[in-house]
């Protein structure tokens, strides 16, 4: 994900044009598969998820993350596959003690440190509080002071949803669709990025306020995870504490902000393993990431292990299947540039598996698995707090051309646990999750990326109680069928990535300008 401006980067005129382009015919169903290898049973998949969760929060290059990657490598080796490592060196930021207190001694509870924001000594930094109603372009009024900035939610209105993606299929019914005004907590912090402006203005510290979230939901969110080190200490507080800070700022009060953290060099590995096919010149890439704060973010490696075991037993593989376990999703700026994701670093390091140049294999398709088995929890009640709704968390699923849409629908047919909204990106730079890497490289793909409210939250016991083992197993079974469908299809049947709004406009502009060159 990029910034809020990126989401609106298509211009109003393209929105009008895109409405006419958004209608699609119902996809022609694929014939049933004659056979597909069985995946490991529910208990085996669940055991892998529990094992990953047992390492605790696995933030990029942390000791727990390193141990979990080593364990994944051991599991691949146990399946008879060679676990290849691509090592990256990063500056790891590990938060310690946090504190926020008014000059009169009143303590303000801290919800979370702002990742890679900066650090203080034990004494912290002090200054007068300056309240901003929203993040300003100019932070100079808070020079030498502590800025307090509410971070608004990015609710999914009709217009924001229109710009994010094209909605295709609702499976099994309309209950899988997005409701107007639906809250997605991660989008606000991911699209309100302003610490660099505050640092340039000479602000001593920043307090960010989670707007529209309960005290409990705001606690220990690891957001945003898309920003580089800012060398400016920043903390998160809940909306209720924000009101106290607004009143303190209006009275001219000062505060002391403490954020102790360690900075050190650390290595972190991306793993990949290959199941050879009859045609070494063609591959299917199956990817996920390995870092995250809880049981769902990221448990995708359990799905990849299950798929590797299933398809290792299939003797008729036409194409090689490359499984990629990427590191760096929670410290993207140290891995790649621009709007890329962590898997992009692996693709750049290993073009021989996908770019189709002389001597290299061509990736004809890709699959991305993230956040398996999630149940829906939403703020509710009075006072508001997160609680289960009794529903499955919606599966946001990118299908990047008509064939991939057909494959997804066929592979999920008959499931007892299904709540999928299939989508396509409107703009080439707006694509949630690690599947965006495949899309940006022109690889047709299917990408599962649910976004529960607790996705980036450190939770007691990892929030393992918010996952459904049967749901996770059925998702893995579906992806196993997708591999079989894709492996049996010709390159012509699979096709190319469908163009986005900006891609269409660029193509039109090139055609119009051609006579004048």
- For residue 5, pLDDT over 50 is answered with no
Find the mean pLDDT for residues 407-431: 94
Q: What is the pLDDT of residue 9?
A: 33
CA-nearest of 164, 149, 241, 186 to 9 is 164
**Alpha-helical runs (H) found in 114-194:** 158-164, 187-191
Q: What is the pLDDT of residue 471?
A: 98
Map 194-233 to HEC letters.
CHHHHHHCCCCEEEEEECCCCHHHHCCECCCCCCCCCCCC
pLDDT in tens, 126-163: 999 999 999 999 999 999 999 999 998 777 776 677 77
- For residue 392, pLDDT over 90 is answered with yes
Find the length of the chain: 517
pLDDT in tens, 428-481: 888 999 999 999 999 999 999 999 999 999 999 999 999 999 999 999 999 999
Percent of the chain with pLDDT over 90: 80
- Torsional sign, CA 379, 382, 385, 389: negative
Q: What is the pLDDT of residue 339?
A: 77
User: Are 497 and 400 in contact, with CB atoms under 8 Å apart?
Assistant: yes
pLDDT in tens, 340-370: 899 999 999 999 999 999 999 999 999 999 9
Long-range contact pairs involving 175-182 (C-beta distance under 8 Å, separation at least 24)? 175/391, 175/419, 176/394, 176/395, 176/418, 176/419, 176/420, 176/421, 177/421, 178/394, 178/421, 180/156, 181/155, 181/156, 181/157, 182/155, 182/156
Angle between helices 42-54 and 469-488 (to 10 degrees): 110
Percent of the chain with pLDDT over 70: 91
Find the mean pLDDT for residues 85-110: 97
State how far the Cα of 493 lies from the Cα of 403, in Å rounded to an integer. Answer: 7
Top-confidence residue, 117 or 162: 117
pLDDT in tens, 193-236: 999 999 999 999 999 999 989 999 999 999 999 999 999 999 99
Find the mean pLDDT for residues 100-104: 97
- CA-based end-to-end distance of the chain: 36
pLDDT in tens, 59-79: 999 999 999 999 999 999 999
pLDDT band at 181 (very low <50, low <70, confident <90, very high): confident
pLDDT band at 26 (very low <50, low <70, confident <90, very high): low
DSSP label of 57:
-
Q: What is the pLDDT of residue 331?
A: 95
Q: What is the mean pLDDT of the chain?
A: 90
Q: What is the pLDDT of residue 504?
A: 56
pLDDT band at 18 (very low <50, low <70, confident <90, very high): very low
- For residue 12, pLDDT over 50 is answered with no
State how far the Cα of 274 lies from the Cα of 398, in Å rounded to an integer. Answer: 24
Q: What is the pTM of this model?
A: 0.91
Q: What is the pLDDT of residue 505?
A: 52
State how far the Cα of 74 lies from the Cα of 430, in Å rounded to an integer. Answer: 35
Find the mean pLDDT for residues 99-115: 97
- For residue 15, pLDDT over 90 is answered with no
3-state secondary structure of 322: strand
pLDDT band at 182 (very low <50, low <70, confident <90, very high): confident
pLDDT band at 335 (very low <50, low <70, confident <90, very high): very high
Q: What is the pLDDT of residue 117?
A: 97
Instruction: Give 201: exposed, middle or buried? Use CB within 10 Å, 0-12, 13-18, 19+.
Output: middle
DSSP label of 8:
T
pLDDT band at 17 (very low <50, low <70, confident <90, very high): very low
pLDDT band at 192 (very low <50, low <70, confident <90, very high): confident
Instruction: Give 153: exposed, middle or buried? Use CB within 10 Å, 0-12, 13-18, 19+.
Output: middle
């Amino acid at each position: 994900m990029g910034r809020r401006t990126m989401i609106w980067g298509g211009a109003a005129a393209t929105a009008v044009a895109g409405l006419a382009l958004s209608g699609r015919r119902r996809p022609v169903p694929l014939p049933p598969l004659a056979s597909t290898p069985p995946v490991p049973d529910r208990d085996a998949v669940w055991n892998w998820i529990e094992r990953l969760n047992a390492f605790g929060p696995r933030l990029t290059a942390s000791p727990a993350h390193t141990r979990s990657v080593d364990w994944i490598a051991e599991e691949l080796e146990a399946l008879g596959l060679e676990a290849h490592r691509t090592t990256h060196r990063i500056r790891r930021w590990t938060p310690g003690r946090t504190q926020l207190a008014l000059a009169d001694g009143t303590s303000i509870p801290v919800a979370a440190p702002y990742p890679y924001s900066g650090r203080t000594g034990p004494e912290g930094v002090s200054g007068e509080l300056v309240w901003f109603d929203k993040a300003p372009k100019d932070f100079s009024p808070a020079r030498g002071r502590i800025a307090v900035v509410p971070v608004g939610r990015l609710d999914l209105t009709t217009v924001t949803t229109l710009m994010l993606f094209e909605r295709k299929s609702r499976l099994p019914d309309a209950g899988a669709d997005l409701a107007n005004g639906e809250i997605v907590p991660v989008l606000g912090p991911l699209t309100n990025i302003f610490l660099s402006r505050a640092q340039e203005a000479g602000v001593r510290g920043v307090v960010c306020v989670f707007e529209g979230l309960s005290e409990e939901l705001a606690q220990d969110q690891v957001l945003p995870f898309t920003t580089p080190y800012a060398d400016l200490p920043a903390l998160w507080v809940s909306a209720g504490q924000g009101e106290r800070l607004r009143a303190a700022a209006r009275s001219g009060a000062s505060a002391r902000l403490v954020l102790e953290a360690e900075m050190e060099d650390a290595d972190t590995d991306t793993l990949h393993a290959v199941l050879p096919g009859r045609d070494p010149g063609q591959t299917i890439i199956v990817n996920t990431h390995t870092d995250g704060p809880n049981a769902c973010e990221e448990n995708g490696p359990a799905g990849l292990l299950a798929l590797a075991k299933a398809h290792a037993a299939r003797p008729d593989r036409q194409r090689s299947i490359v499984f990629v376990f990427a590191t760096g999703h929670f410290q993207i700026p140290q891995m790649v540039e621009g709007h890329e994701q962590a898997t992009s670093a692996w693709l750049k390091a290993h073009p021989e598996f996908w770019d189709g140049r002389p001597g290299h294999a061509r990736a004809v398709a890709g699959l991305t698995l993230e956040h398996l088995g999630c149940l829906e929890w939403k703020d509710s009640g009075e006072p508001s707090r997160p609680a289960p709704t009794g529903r499955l968390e919606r599966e946001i699923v990118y299908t990047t051309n008509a064939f991939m849409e057909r494959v997804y629908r066929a592979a999920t047919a008959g499931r007892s646990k299904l709540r999928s909204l299939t989508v396509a990106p409107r703009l080439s730079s707006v694509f949630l999750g690690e599947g965006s890497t495949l899309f940006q490289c022109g690889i047709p793909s299917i990408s599962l990326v649910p976004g529960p409210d607790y996705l980036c939250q450190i939770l007691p016991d990892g929030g393992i109680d918010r996952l459904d083992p049967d749901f996770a197993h059925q998702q893995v079974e579906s992806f196993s069928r997708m591999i079989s469908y894709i492996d049996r299809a010709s390159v012509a049947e699979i096709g190319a990535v469908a163009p986005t709004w900006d891609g269409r406009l660029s193509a039109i502009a090139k055609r119009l300008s051609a006579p004048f060159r």
